[in-house]
A and B are shown apart, each in its own frame.
Chain A
Amino acid sequence: MRALIVEDEPLLIEDLEECLLEEQFNVDSAQRLRKASDLVAAEEYDLILLDLGLPDGDGLDLLKTIKKDHKETAVIIITARGETEDKVKGLELGSDDYLAKPFPIAELRARIHAVMRRKYDISNNQIVAGPVKLNVDHMKVLVDDEPLDVTETEYKMMRYLMLNKNKTITRIALAEHIWGSKIDDRFSLDFINSHMKNIRKKLNAAGVENLIKTVYGVGYKLTTYETE
């Protein structure tokens, strides 16, 4: 999954980045509104941490654009402005949560989980697909309650496919969600294939077959027919 940090203080960016990387996000950051709006226009983010007070403009304008063009993107506003008016305005404009500086990173983590739970409608920080359970708050995958040993990249791929259950995910979208947009796509698609081979091998070994289907020429689809 991809996250964007819009924040003008480099030291805070570092902390936020660290937190998001631990959450297995692919992170971009922007210190200026101009760059942030370039990124928002070009990329698909799952989460944006937005500071309202930027040196070259008001973050609320960016929030409007995000909510207009990217309804799916979750936005958490981070700002030094503690005023209720701003908070209300931000939430009215569609931000998913609001954090006033200073805040402990643990709180940010909790808010991210909450927002993601709401966004993907998951309970208990766990996504279930048939016999496979995947924790979103830490890197853990269970098959029939037995832990499955996966690498970081495999975890990211599985998480993205499980969050988008029953949807066809193109390989390029998958690559972007793992490595961001900097990576050359012709180059990364081969890697997606080999990672997918490994995931299937591991799932097969654990007795799960045909969970992830290849949509020929397009990408992958994780299907589950169970209803909970």
Chain B
Amino acid sequence: MKEFMIIKVKKLRKICLRHLGDILLFLAALLVCFPILLLLTGVVKSSGELREGLAPILSKGEGGIHWNLLPLYPTGEHLLDILFFKPQFHVVFWNSMKITVCILAGQLFLASPMAWGFARFSFPGKKVFFTLYVILMLMPFQVMMLPSYLILNGMNLLDTHLAVILPAMCSTLPVFLMYQGFASIPKECIEAAQIDGADNWQVFFYLGVPLGSGGILSAMVLGYLEYWNMLEQPMTFLRTSAKYPLSLFLPQISMEQAGMVLAASLIMLIPAMFIFFAGQDYLEQGIAVSGLKG
């Protein structure tokens, strides 16, 4: 019996060792998702429980905060409250949506023909333009802040949504991502279509867009996540708080209204999560292309 036990323990240890890597990875994944877990468990807590738990922070008392991972009395009050009794939340939510969707639509319209041009045509200065686009795609906002301000001021667009939308629409990152998708289309395909009498735009719409849809979708997925999270541009170019997007509105809610912060955060998270899970393959493809050039 004893020997049997020893063998069993040894076997167990062997299994553990073999799966040690996986176990560690799972722990890391749990740690990484921990902030989201806190958010999800917090949003269904009652106001009383939140106030009590956060008392050390709110009233500068002694000791640590209390946070039961399983709420005592789960409630949907904060979500209902924000959805039905906070009209200003609806305003900022749709501001965010409008800004993001307009930027992406604009990028589709501007970037995809340009990307096609880089991938398929030869024109004077192509190499210089391409380098320029790569440089602009990597420029941080700090550098482009004053130039954008000058041009927006000149066009009298400050403190309008267009001030945020227009410069982002002309971003060059989507051109680069779509370019990689278009460049991988075999030449023979296009030549065949041309021989059959298709003109430039027909080739683009009927061959380029469907065959290069991977690149276009990665640009859209990466773009959505980027602009839904946009902070610096609205902060600099918008003054009126009724025009703020969610990312600027959320930090303004004070810690005392913890329930509202959590509910608003959750609602902001939902569309991003939806895009993430629906477009994960394209997201990964986009990341790989943006960093390693396909």
Bound pair (A, B): no
Q: Which residues of B contact A (CB under 8 A)?
A: none
Q: Which residues of A contact B (CB under 8 A)?
A: none
